[in-house]
Amino acid sequence: MESHTIIPSINSPILKTNWKSIYIVAIVSFIAALEFAASNDWNYFCQLDPSATITFYGILRTVGGLSGGISTILAGWLCNRLKDTSGGGRPSGEPLPLAKF
């Protein structure tokens, strides 16, 4: 008995790509990469507050990273729940107020 693999055609709706989601992920990834590339602000931080310690700076960076991660998870969950990435499923088509923070 032979097994046959069914390959869907190119015009099949199964192979449709949601480009809007791909663009959103690319933009978010680019912004995250910029954050890591521009993380050399310790010298500037020391000029602002000479009494600051490296531990305090590390805590600030950690809290910033965690808040970004948590907000990303929350935004992803919300977009999945509303099944929309542009207007948040709102009839007016306006973005969610959460996106303005």
Backbone angles phi, psi at 15, to 5 degrees: -95, 10
Residue 2 forms part of a structural domain: no
Please check whether residue 80 lies inside any domain of the structure. Answer: yes
Over residues 16-62, the pLDDT tens digits come to: 677 888 888 888 888 777 777 666 778 888 888 899 898 988 888 88
Q: Which domain holds residue 21?
A: 17-100
Cβ 85 vs Cβ 19: under 8 Å: no
What does the DSSP 8-state code read for residue 5? -
Model's pTM, two decimal places?
Answer: 0.46
CA distances from 80 to 20, 29, 37, 88, 99 (A): 14, 19, 30, 10, 15
The set of residues, in sequence order, having a beta carbon less than 8 Å from that of 98 and lying 6+ positions away, is: 74, 75, 78
Q: Considering its fold, how many domains does the chain have in total?
A: 1
Instruction: Assess contact for 57 and 42: CB atoms under 8 A.
Output: yes
